[in-house]
Structure formats: structure tokens, C-alpha cells
A and B are shown apart, each in its own frame.
Chain A
Amino acid sequence: MADIKFSEDTLALANKIIARYPEGKQKSALLPLLHLAQAEFDGWLSPATMQYVASLLQIQEVEVYEVASFYSMFNLKPVGKCLIEVCRTSSCWLRGANEIIEHLENKLGIKEGQTTPDGMFTLKTVECLGSCGSAPMMQIGAQYHENLSYEKVDGILDTCKAEGTRKTYLDKVVVDKY
């Protein structure tokens, strides 16, 4: 997998991030760079992607892996184009998160943790995303979808399907309209 390499723009951004930290502390850029890599290389961190990030920061590959495996937002296996993350903790549970999860499972024909055969959706349940006042909610890429109802969920899935694009945490979205 020699073709794992950031685009020119991304590499420039990565270098800008690396330059923030004091001399010898470039490892601080690891989490930001893994985010850039995951967004650019199919939504997950393959061993080749992690090797590439290690080479950029001049650190051991295992240092990348031990970090990538610690944080829940880094995917170490391939995921669908739209990774649906549904919050299931207290406030969301109080306002019907379990029913939203069940609805998603029925609608997509998959269970939590699985990916649809067309590679479009992966369904994941996650812990509190800080959207307790607008529960129940789910996150797809950078976008928070809040105050969910079955109809709203159906509409979101339809839109995702029609767009057909991979959603990432780096997407420019407007969540709070002020």
C-alpha cells in the first residue's frame, strides 16, 4: 500500500499543525493527524495508514497503534460511508434512544455494530455526545442530528443515500443555527 499519502493540501495542514508544538514534542500532533488520515483514507485507520502517520511524526508504529486503539472515534476496521453513531446514555435513553436504535436496525436491516451490504451505513451506539437537551440524537460525520423522531431518522437516511458521499468528522457543517 505504497499509495497512502496525504494530498498536497492535507500535508500542508498537517505540517502547520506539527509546527504548533515545541521542538521535540511533535508527537502532540498525533491525534489531529489521525483525524486527517481517517477522513482522507476511507474513514478508517488501516495498518498502512498508521505506518504513514508514524513516518510523518518520526515515531514508532506501535506508538500510533496504542493511541489509535484507545480513542473511540478512530476506526480500526472499515466502516460504511455513513457511520451512524447513536447516543444511548441516560438523557438520551430517557427520551427514547433505545427505540431510535431499534428503528434504525429495522430500517437498515442490520444490527448494532454491523454495516449494510452496500457499504453505505454502519450502525454504532456511543456514549454521551453532549446533546442531552436535544435528545434523542445521533451523529453522522461532523453533523449532529437532534430531537429525533422516526420520520426525521427516515429523512436523514434518505438524504445520506441520495448524496452517496462519505461523511467525515472534518465536514464543514452548521449544527447550531444562530
Chain B
Amino acid sequence: MGKKLLLEHDHVPGIQGYDVYRKNGGYASVEKAIKTMSPEALVEEVKKSGLRGRGGAGFPTGMKWSFLAKPEGVPRYLVCNADESEPGTFKDRYLMSRIPHILVEGMIASSFALGVNKAFIYIRGEYYYIVNILEKAIEEAYANGWLGTNILGTGYNLDLYVQVGAGAYICGEETALLESLEGKRGNPRIKPPFPAIAGLYGCPTVVNNVETLASVVPVINMGGDAYAQIGIGKSTGTKLISASGHINKPGVYEIEMGITVEDFIYSDEYCGGILNGKKLKAVVAGGSSVPVLPADKILNLANGEKRLMSYESLSDGGFGGGTMLGSGGFIVMDETTSIVENLFTFARFYHHESCGQCSPCREGTAWMEKILHKIVDGHGTMADIDLLWEIQAKIEGNTICPLGDAAAWPVASAIRHFRSEFEEYVSNPSGVKKNKHYDSVHNNVNV
């Protein structure tokens, strides 16, 4: 069994409630932080831990915190990004609904470290039922003196609120999230200034993912150095992986970074192998935005060594031969999967979710969906494949926020690694339709 820092108690009955959570060591990090440490020392611990943002970008959390401006008399804000919307990702949902107090605890300790007196959890609207779970946890935290005024008699004050979104992937981008929290459309802001200087209401703001803030709890409890011992290289600590697709045991798994991809897919501790004894065809390792890799490339590096579940190993080989850990949304596809049709669902997704602010993304995502629809429908030409390539290349790097890149990378990687499949759709459309190989119906339990 791998080391568990976040989900250690996830199967303890009643862990959703305060009493059981507290009995299992809950809120110890807040006690330690507020009573025995200075905010500066806390930021130092997080820096030492090597903790990196768990939302997808992997930016060092301690460094992000140290950028926070601290002008006199100006309030600062901490905002938890619980807008989890990256296709393939459902770890924050699991964590918040199962152990809501770990997020509340992490936010209190983090707020103290940042000198924040008002914090928000911005959660995607579709998770409305979790709003109720979080608000109950927050209420319990207030009732037990962990939130409100004069926390633990130290004179420190903190209020924590849950803010609900209303269905927009783009609000996972931190400046779009802040716009939305201000009651506006979720259009990302031009940076700089970064939120650390001018964020919510123009005030210095830190935006961190749910899992990142929850991870602050073990970082404080065990100390930054000890946390950094877990994992491998610059991928310290544990990571929650959302495993879905053609596997025997879909679900959320906490892994110590550094286990092999092969072990993650095939061992009974994790995914338990491919569904129905089929062969592995491809994996999207870190949510829909990261490059798709064929079986041999996801399991092994170019030098023949086994690929590991870590930031560095997954990106080994660059965009030509590697991918990214991203949000940890691990989508597994068996040998019968049509890469082209799966890509079509991604293209449709990004077209739907583009905020429309930048023309390369607004127009490009629409055209990519249209062309892929044409190919899937059996009316594509070879020139369409080149056109797709050209469009994605013109989106990448030419937009205000990373949604453009996120829309381009899946298209680029699918064509790079599976071009022959696109060509088959073009040259033999009726054959593709008849071919069981590209028939999604087999996946359904009803057929």
C-alpha cells in the first residue's frame, strides 16, 4: 500500500462530520500553525515541501504564496478553486464530499500564513449538493472556534464562504474565476497584473486548487522537509488521480508520486487492468487538455525505462513523445476505441467552453469541431487532416488564457500519434462504420 496523506481516513464511518474528523487528528495543523508558527515560517515550510499546484499547472505553491503583495491597509483574499471541470477529473469532488473538513482545515492554516481574513471556496454549480456538505463543515468549524473572530484566542479572525458557479469550464482559469466571483461573465483577464498583485476586487489574492490547499495540512503536520521526502525528485508528496475509461476499477486513488504507469494501470491496488481483458490502446494522463499517448509511449520512455507517475516522467519526451500530469485525470482507452471519435468529444467540449474573447480560440475551436464532425461522419478529405493541424497550431500560444492551448494539444497529439486512423476515416468511411474496431456500442452494458 502506498502512503496516504489526504485519503488516510476516507473510509472511516462518519469522517464527513466534525467529531470523527477531529478524533482522527483533524485541525492539528491549524493548532500548530496559529499557536506555534509565524506566517513567514509557514510559507517557508510550504516552500520546503516542494508542494506544487494540484489543479493542473503544477506551479510551486510556496513560490505562488511568496508573490502575494502586502500593502498596508488593503485586504488580501484566499480563493479555493473548486471549479473542477477538466474532463476526466473528479478528485476534488470526491475529497470535498467525503472529507470536507480537510479543505476547511487547509484553508484556515493557509489563510493564516497569507494574512487573509476572508476566504472563498468557488465551486462549480453542478456540484451544488457539495455546497451543502461544505457549508455544514464550515458551520461546525465556526461552532468549534476554528473560524470567526479571535481564533484559538490569538486575535486572528477569518471568515470562510462557499461561492457557487453556474456551469463554465473557463472559470477554472484563475482570473476568469475571480471575474465570476465578482458577479461577471467568466472572461479571463489579461496578465499582468497577476492575482497576487491585483486579484479579487483589485486586491492581492491567492487562488489555489482544492487538493493543493488540503495538502497544506500534511505539510504543516509533518513539516516541509519530511513532506519533500515523499515522492520522487521535484514531484513531492502524494497526488490524487481520477481514473476512468476502460478499466476494471474506476475511481479516485491517492498515489505516492514515482510509481510506474504500468503499475497504476494494471495493479489491483489501483485501476485493476483493462476492462474485459482487452488490450490498452491509449491514455490521456492528466485531463482532456494533455496530449494523448499510445500504449507503448505511456508505459515506457524513449530510452526503454518505465514511465513513472510524476510531473517530470510524464512530460519526458516533450510534446513529441511525452504528455503531462496535469490535473491527474487519467482516461484509459482500450484497443477498440476510436481516437478520432474521442477527439471529437474533446473538440466539441472546447468549442462549447471557449469564452469567445480571443478570436483564435473562438473561431478555431468551432472549426476544429466542424472538421472533426465531417471526418467522423465519413465526409472528410486528406486535406482536412492537414487543416486541423494548421488550425491547432494557430490557436496555441495566441490567446489570453491557456484554454486555447488546452484545445490545441489534444488535436495535435491525436494527429501526431494516430494519423493513420484519421486517414482510414477519410479513405474508407463505410469500412470504418462497419468495422467493430471503431464501434463504441460494445462499451455499453446494455448491448
Q: Chain A residues in contact with chain B, CB under 8 A? A: 20, 22, 25, 27-32, 34-35, 57, 63, 66-67, 70-74, 88-91, 93-96, 98-100, 103, 126-135, 139, 142-144, 149-151, 169-170, 172-176, 178
Is B115 at the interface (CB under 8 A from chain A)? Answer: no
Which residues of chain B are within 8 angstroms of A174 by Cβ–Cβ distance? 129
Closest residue on chain B to residue A70 by CB atoms? B185
Please tell me which one of the listed residues A71, A95, A131 contacts residue B443 in the complex, with CB atoms under 8 A apart: A95
Which residues of chain B are within 8 angstroms of A66 by Cβ–Cβ distance? 185
Binary contact track B289-315/A, C-beta < 8 Å → 1, others 0: 000000000000000000000000000
CB pair B168–A71 under 8 Å, yes or no, is yes
CB pair B444–A22 under 8 Å, yes or no, is no
CB pair A132–B244 under 8 Å, yes or no, is yes
User: Given A73-B166, A127-B87, A132-B244, do A90 and B97 touch, yes or no (CB 8 Å)?
Assistant: no
Give, as a whole number of angstroms, the nearest-CB distance from B103 to chain A: 15
CB pair A169–B125 under 8 Å, yes or no, is yes
When chains A and B are docked, how far (Å) is the Cα of A134 from the Cα of B269?
18
Total CB contacts across the A-B interface at under 8 A: 184
Which residues of chain A are within 8 angstroms of B441 by Cβ–Cβ distance? 96, 99
In chain B, positions 320-348 with a C-beta closer than 8 Å to chain A are 329, 331, 333, 337, 341-342, 345-346, 348
CB pair A142–B184 under 8 Å, yes or no, is no
CB pair B342–A93 under 8 Å, yes or no, is yes
CB pair B164–A35 under 8 Å, yes or no, is yes
CB pair B124–A130 under 8 Å, yes or no, is yes
CB pair B85–A130 under 8 Å, yes or no, is yes
CB pair B180–A31 under 8 Å, yes or no, is yes
Q: Chain B residues in contact with chain A, CB under 8 A? A: 13, 15-16, 75, 84-90, 92-94, 97-98, 124-129, 132, 159, 161, 163-169, 180-186, 201, 242-246, 250-252, 284, 288, 329, 331, 333, 337, 341-342, 345-346, 348-349, 352-353, 355, 440-441, 443-447
Which residues of chain B are within 8 angstroms of A142 by Cβ–Cβ distance? 128-129
CB pair A178–B15 under 8 Å, yes or no, is yes
CB pair A91–B84 under 8 Å, yes or no, is no
When chains A and B are docked, how far (Å) is the Cα of A35 from the Cα of B163?
11
When chains A and B are docked, how far (Å) is the Cα of A170 from the Cα of B166?
12
When chains A and B are docked, how far (Å) is the Cα of A131 from the Cα of B164?
18
User: Given A90-B345, A96-B444, do A172 and B90 touch, yes or no (CB 8 Å)?
Assistant: no
When chains A and B are docked, how far (Å) is the Cα of A178 from the Cα of B11?
8
CB pair A91–B88 under 8 Å, yes or no, is yes
Please tell me which one of the listed residues A71, A90, A172 contacts residue B125 in the complex, with CB atoms under 8 A apart: A71
**Which of A70, A90, A134, A169 lies at the interface centre, i.e. has the most chain B CB atoms within 10 A of its CB?**
A90
CB pair A95–B245 under 8 Å, yes or no, is yes
User: Given A67-B185, A70-B185, A93-B345, do A31 and B163 touch, yes or no (CB 8 Å)?
Assistant: yes
CB pair B161–A150 under 8 Å, yes or no, is no
CB pair A132–B166 under 8 Å, yes or no, is no
Give, as a whole number of angstroms, the nearest-CB distance from A115 to chain B: 19
Give, as a whole number of angstroms, the nearest-CB distance from B265 to chain A: 15
CB pair A31–B87 under 8 Å, yes or no, is no
CB pair B342–A94 under 8 Å, yes or no, is yes
CB pair B182–A135 under 8 Å, yes or no, is no
CB pair A127–B353 under 8 Å, yes or no, is yes
Closest residue on chain B to residue A129 by CB atoms? B126
User: Given A73-B125, A90-B88, A128-B349, do A133 and B186 touch, yes or no (CB 8 Å)?
Assistant: no
User: Given A70-B186, A133-B252, A142-B128, do A175 and B97 touch, yes or no (CB 8 Å)?
Assistant: yes
When chains A and B are docked, how far (Å) is the Cα of A126 from the Cα of B85?
12
Closest residue on chain B to residue A33 by CB atoms? B183
When chains A and B are docked, how far (Å) is the Cα of A45 from the Cα of B98?
33
When chains A and B are docked, how far (Å) is the Cα of A96 from the Cα of B336?
13
CB pair A130–B331 under 8 Å, yes or no, is no
CB pair B85–A30 under 8 Å, yes or no, is no
CB pair A96–B440 under 8 Å, yes or no, is yes
Which residues of chain B are within 8 angstroms of A95 by Cβ–Cβ distance? 245, 443-444
CB pair B167–A71 under 8 Å, yes or no, is yes
When chains A and B are docked, how far (Å) is the Cα of A69 from the Cα of B169?
15
CB pair B447–A89 under 8 Å, yes or no, is no
Give, as a whole number of angstroms, the nearest-CB distance from B232 to chain A: 25
CB pair A89–B252 under 8 Å, yes or no, is no
When chains A and B are docked, how far (Å) is the Cα of A1 from the Cα of B186?
30
When chains A and B are docked, how far (Å) is the Cα of A169 from the Cα of B161?
19
When chains A and B are docked, how far (Å) is the Cα of A130 from the Cα of B129?
13
